[in-house]
Every structure is written in C-alpha cells, then in structure tokens.
Amino acid sequence: MSIIGKNIPHDSAIGHVTGESVFIDDMPFAKNELIVDFVGSPYAHGELISVDTSEAEKIEGIIGLYTYKDLDGINKFGPIIQDEHLLVEHTATFMGEPIVVIAGETRQAIAKAKKAIKIVMKELEPVFTIDEAIKREQYIGVPRFIIRGDVQSVFKTSEHILEGTFINGGQEQFYLESQASIAYPGEDNTLVIHSSTQHPSEIVQVAASILGLQQNQVICITKRMGGGFGGKESQACHFAVMAGLVALKTKRPARAVLNKDTDMMVTGKRHPFQNNYKVAFDKNGMITALKVDLFSNGGAAADLSTSILERAMLHSDSAYYLPNVEINGRVCKTNLPPNTAFRGFGGPQGTLNTENIIEEIAHYLKKDAYEIRRINCYGVNDRNITPYGQIIHNNVLPEIFDELIYSSDYTERLEAVKEFNSVSKTHLKGISLSPVKFGISFTTKFLNQGSALVNIYLDGTVQVSTGGTEMGQGLNTKIRQIVADEFSIDYETVRIMATSTEKNNNTSPTAASSGTDINGSAAVVACQAIRDRLSEFAAQYFSSFENGITKAKEHIVFKDNYIFDNRLPDNKIAFKDFVVLAYRERVSLGERGFYQTPGVDFNRDTGKGNPFLYFTNGAAVSEVLIDKFTGELKVLRSDILIDIGESINVGIDRGQVIGGFIQGMGWVTGEELKYNEKGYLLSHSPTTYKIPNITDVPDIFNVNFFKNDTNIVNVKKSKAVGEPPLLLGISVWTAVKHALSCVSSGKRINLSVPATNEEIIMAIDQFEEIPIKIKVLEY
C-alpha cells in the first residue's frame, strides 16, 4: 500500500517533546561569538538630530557600534517596494525602528551600552489610524480594483440596500521562537547565515544588497523554525542582516536573537482593515450588487502590504457569486511597524468583511443567515465565475454546505438556540455556519516556482533538499512521503536536509499554503528523472537474463523496496542492491527537479485573470454561549468539514485544520493589539496579549474531511491545508453576531473584530439594560 495518505508522525515530533530539536539559539556558541542587539527610535515619528556612542564605546565587552554610515551597500530594501531602511538615516517612522546596532560579548554589557547611547530626536506628529491616513492621503502603492457588471445601475433600482463600515483589528503571529539569526564570516568576505526564516533566498538578496556583497558570497541555511505564520517571510531579514553586519565588521560569529517583548514591539502584524460597503439584494437575500472599499493599515513601509491587499480583494467574494461587483483597495501608510504576512495573507480580512455583510442581510430580512449563504453560494455548472474572471472547476461548496448542515444537526440546534434565548435572563447563545473558498498559489506569477535536489546513496538511502522551510507545519514529513512513494521505498530511508540557498537557489518563500505543492512537485520531477534512468538500465538488466524478453522500460516496476520487470514478477532485485549496480554502470543517481505552477496568470492592472491553480473549500458550524453580564464567550461546539483532496498525511493535515481554526478563532475573539497615544504597543508579552489556550477549545470539536479526488492538477491529488482552516474560525464571530441578533429587537448590530468580552458587552448594552446588582461589603 502507498505511503501517501498514511498518518506518519511529524519527523521532528520526538525531538520537539524531548528537547533534542535544534533551533537557532540552541546552536552552541562559538569561542569568539558576539551578541547582537540594537537601539531603536523612542518616537513613532521623529527627525534624527544626532547619535552619540562615545560613552557606550568605553564599556567593557562592547566590540562594535554601527549606524547606517557603516553599511557598505544600499540602506534600502523591501520585497516589493524598496522603501524601508535597515537603520534610520534621517527620519524614524515607527517606535523602536533600529538606529544603532550593538555588538557585545555579554548581554550585561549590551544593556549598559543601550543606556549610554545618546540619541537626540525631534518628535514629529505621527499617524496611527486608517482614518487619519485617508484624511492626509498617506498611501502605499497605487489604487487597485476588481470590477464586474454595473453596480451603480443595480443600486438605482434595487429592492433593498444596506451600507456600512466594518472594522477588523490586527493580530500578532506569536511564534514561540522569536526572530533569530547567527552569521558566520568566511574567507573573501563570505557569510553563512543561519536564520529562522520562511524565505532564505530573500535573506541572501537583502544581506548582499545592504552589506555591499554579491549574492554568491552569502549562504542562508534554515533547519527549522519555532513557528512562523507569515511573520518570518520578510521580517527575518532585518535581524539576519544585523548579524551579518557585525560578522563582517569584526570577523567574528554574531548572534541576533530577540526577546519576546522586543520582537512583538518592532515587528509587523496582521493588517487591520477598515472597509466601507454597499450591498443590494432582493427579498430572498440574493445579492445583486456589491461595492466594497478596502483600506488596510500597512504601517510605515510597504513590506508585503500591496500583495496582502490584493489577496483580500480576491477573497472579497468569500464563497458567493456576485453578478455585479466593484472592489477597490488602498494601503494606508501610518507610523506603526510595517505590517506583514500572517496566515491567510489578507484572505481572512476580505472574507470576513463579506461574511459580516451576509449577517447584516439576514438580520435585515429577519432570515437565518444560512439561507442567505446557501442561495448566494457559487454554483457548479453556472454562477461559477469569480469577479476576476476565473472559473471555479469541480466546485464542491454546495455539497459541503448540505452535508455539514445535516451532520452538525444545524436546523435542530438553531431552534434550540432560539428557545434558550427566549427564556434565559443571564446568557445568550448563537449558532452560525461560515464557509471558506481559499485560492491556492502566489498571486505574483514568478513566485510560483520551486526546485529540489534528490540524491540516492549506495546503501539505497535518499537525501532530499528543497527550497521549502519547515516551521512546524509538517512540510518535511510530507515531502519524505512523496519521495518514498515515487521510489516505493521505506519512509525511513528518506531524509530531508536543512534548507540551504547553496543547494537550491532563487527560491520562493514557504508561504501561500503552497509549500508542499511547489516543493513536493519539484521533488517529484527530480525523482521521476532518476527513476526513468533506473528504468532504462533495469530494462537492459532484466532482458539480458531472460531469453525472449525484449528491452522495454515501460514494464519496469518499483514496488515495496524492489525493482522488477512485470513480465517476470518473480525475478526481483532489492532497490538498495540495484542502485549499486546502476552506479557501477555510471547511471546518475542524483537530480535537480524544477517545477512551475501551470496556468496561473493574474493582471493586477485590469483585475482579471487566473491567480489560483485551485481552491481549498470548507465550512464550519460553531455554537457559542455568552454571559450577558460580563461578555464572557465560550465556544460550545464546532463542526468542520473541509475538502483537502487526497490527503498526503491525514494526521498532519488534521493538526493543521485544528490549529488553523483555533488561530482564526483567536483573531476574531480575544487577540487584541493595544497601543498608547504615542504608538507604544502595550500588549507586547504573553501576559498582556491573549492567544487561545486549551480551555478555549470547543467542548465538542468535530473535524471531518470531505471526500474529493478530482484535484488532478496538484501533487498526489492533494490540496493545500495551511491557511484555509484559519478562515473557518470566522464561524465563531458570526455565531456571536447571531447571538446578539436575538436581543437586538431589530436594531442594527455593530460588532468589530476582535469580539472581546468588552466588545460583546458594549454591543449588548446597545439593546438591553442588564440589571447588575452590586452588594457593598462592610468591614
């Protein structure tokens, strides 16, 4: 039986629980290694007047202090728009923006140096909110649009119209391993950088550019990350380059590892969005026109904001056919750290906005929101073209809706919720279904490529190197299974090597849920090339031993660690023995495979094209309980049904679905970023920023996979599972909105994201006065 589809444990599972897995800061200190830190701007927006490091230079253990003047290359970078400085030159644009890099032998010396460095700045007026940025016309990039039909004509004749503004907040990635890098200097100004990054090639490109090197002088290696969630796609560069700067200047190894507080304060988050919408619909809730203006808070520099906005626009249809639609988008520039990638990459923000609109329509028409979702759902043979012109092939959304409504007992539970709310004086319940239709591929065409190096050794074992990075999601385990399956050998004989730009150059980031798709497919290309050569040799080998058997490689079979001609099934040779024979006949046992995702091409200037290879679809039903007096929220039950094609590893995929859902639930409920009036992040530690814990997991949690083997365009008929499940957490927020609708007396419900206890209690307070009795205790 094929190893594909088996529940193979994560290849680092034992190492993680025993503590044997090596992360960046677990790597032993070299004899002369330095610690790297920095001093940042005390203002969110300020003009740099002077920097005095003279007193800090006298501190014992301080080896180097560097400003932008010490950079030998260009102090400007960015993955899309090069508008960000590694070190402040004249104007600081967010609080904590690095000004001076410190190289020290001990953390104690560095702490003293931080206090001794004198930075004089003139504080300038900052901008923190989307409203302020719009007022000042501070934007990043150009306006974007996706248009189909004629929304204005429909609005003039529409039966019903709703308008509003929807706000969702950001989210901290909260990876367990903070940003971390170690740089080792070599001969001829070369650097080897070990980095906790999702994008080793970008580390190489940015380090070379800023440090005045050629890219062939820099190697980046990533063994694993202690979590990434998008936060290490572009922003690992800053600290890797700081380590590289110190290593080049001192000719000593240099380690830059942030503590959690600093990491949270100076790195970007999920983008907050503020969206204005106008929707037209008929008496049944069928949407006839939708106009949405999306505004994201990009922070102080572009980073990946323009692409994130683009994906938000591409997911503003959620799972619904919109015959007339106008989607406009702008990135607002503010004085917060540049916001960046986060699992879902804008997709959650675009989808959530539309799911809020669905709830608004249902509330207005006094209908169940599921009815509105079902009649607007994309069709199978018609009503199956997106606003940007891509046909949704093999659409299973209607089937998923119908199957989940039945399996979750939605109808009966909806009635029970209504009954509960009619009699309870202290609590509210809500229940809701929300879908996901998540496009899989990078929306930038050239990123949809990958390479892999596969080497077979003379004992029959295999090494695989790809451009993909392991951040805990199980990429390495899946690629091991894919390669083992291609040669029909034991999983244990395949080993995935640390990702290195020396082995696979110009790689794309491990992002967009496409890590297995791209890198697994590249590994398949390499394996098939080797297998083709082995088959050619095997055909010759077996024909030479049997009279009458012609040489024909199409008859060669790889099965259960053996190779044989299917016309002579009893004449088998072990795979490990056969590769020795092939080697002695000078058959190459190594190959580099290259893969480019077919059929993806999106024109962002026209808002038309096929940005995705396929879609991962699913839905979730969640039921919540709310305390009217405190706003406390408890998720009673969640039922998930998701189509991930033919699963490569059921256990890992199930873990990704559960983890993604919980992370999405955290975003829409408890995770709140709080800043003071100066732009200082108040919620910068585990004590002040609330991520979900074990008690927040639904009491009843059902996760099931929808059977679907139609995705022949992807490796092993699988579908991506990294980002789509996060959007299913939206069902918890829509369930909260449903609960509030039961006490709103028909009034409109204003509920932002996250729906914290405070947000919920303020929403309830709009509709009914809660008699809270306070008993005064006398002592």
Please say whether the beta carbons of 249 and 65 come within 8 A: no
Partners of 535 in the β-ladder: none
Partners of 207 in the β-ladder: none
Number of continuous H segments (helices) and E segments (strands) in the chain: 20, 29
Residue-by-residue DSSP string for 672-722: ---B-TTS-BS--STTTS----GGGS-SEEEEEEPP----TTSGGGB---S
Helix H or strand E encompassing 427: strand 427-440
Q: Is 89 a catalytic residue?
A: no
* Residue 266 CB partners (closer than 8 Å, separation 6+): 40, 94, 96, 97, 98, 258, 337
Distance (Å, whole) CA 537 – CA 520 = 26
Residue-by-residue DSSP string for 187-252: GGG-EEEEE--S-HHHHHHHHHHHHT--GGGEEEEE---S--TTTTTSTTHHHHHHHHHHHHHHSS
CB-based burial, 413-434: b 16+ in 10 Å, e otherwise: bbeebeeebeeeeeebbbbbbb
* Residue 359 CB partners (closer than 8 Å, separation 6+): 369, 432, 734, 737, 738, 741, 749
HSE toward the beta carbon, residue 441, CA cutoff 13 A: 23
As given in the structure block, the two tokens for residue 230 are 């998008």
As given in the structure block, the two tokens for residue 306 are 């323009």
Strand ranges, E, within 282-377: 287-299, 325-333
Residue-by-residue DSSP string for 22-85: --GGGSPPPTT-EEEEEEE-SSSSEEEEEEE-HHHHTSTTEEEEE-GGG-SS-S-B-SSS--B-
Catalytic site residue from 419, 723, 758, 768: 723
Question: What's the 3-state SS for 444-480?
Answer: CHHHCEEEEEEEECCCCCEEEEECCCCCCCCHHHHHH
* Residue 411 CB partners (closer than 8 Å, separation 6+): 405
Supply the residues annotated as catalytic. Answer: 723
